[in-house]
Amino acid sequence: MLTSRSGPSLYLSIVRQLLLRVNCLTVFVVRWDPEQMDSQWLNQAAALHTSYYHAQIIFHNPFPFMRRSTAPNSTGNGDSGWAGFSNNQAQAFAICINAAHACSRILAAQMEHHAGGRVYPIQVPGAFTSAMTLLVNLWIAKKSSGGMQPVGHSSVIADIRTCMDAVKRVEAVWDSAGRTW
Name the more confident of 174 and 63: 174
pLDDT of res. 30: 67
Band (128; pLDDT cuts 50, 70, 90): very high
Q: DSSP letters along 101-119, please?
A: HHHHHHHHHHHHHSSS---
How far is it, in rounded angstroms, from Cα 35 to Cα 14?
35
How far is it, in rounded angstroms, from Cα 80 to Cα 55?
28
Interior/surface letters 106-133, b for 16+ CB within 10 angstroms, e for the rest: bbbbbbebeeebbbbeebbbbbbbbbbb
Domain boundaries, the chain: 8-67+78-179
- One-letter amino acid for residue 122 of the chain: I
Which residues touch 166 (CB under 8 Å, ≥6 apart)? 107, 111, 119, 123, 124, 127
How far is it, in rounded angstroms, from Cα 121 to Cα 6?
36
Percent of residues, the chain, with pLDDT higher than 70? 71
Q: Where are the beta strands (DSSP E) in 55-158?
A: none
pTM of the model: 0.77
Mean pLDDT of 136-140: 87
pLDDT of res. 127: 95
Give the CA distances from residue 69 to residues 1, 79, 83, 84, 167, in Å, rounded to whole numbers and listed in that order.
Answer: 31, 12, 11, 8, 37
Mean pLDDT over each residue of the chain, to the nearest integer: 77
Q: Tell me: the pLDDT tens digits for 33-77?
A: 878 788 888 888 888 889 989 988 988 875 545 555 444 444 444
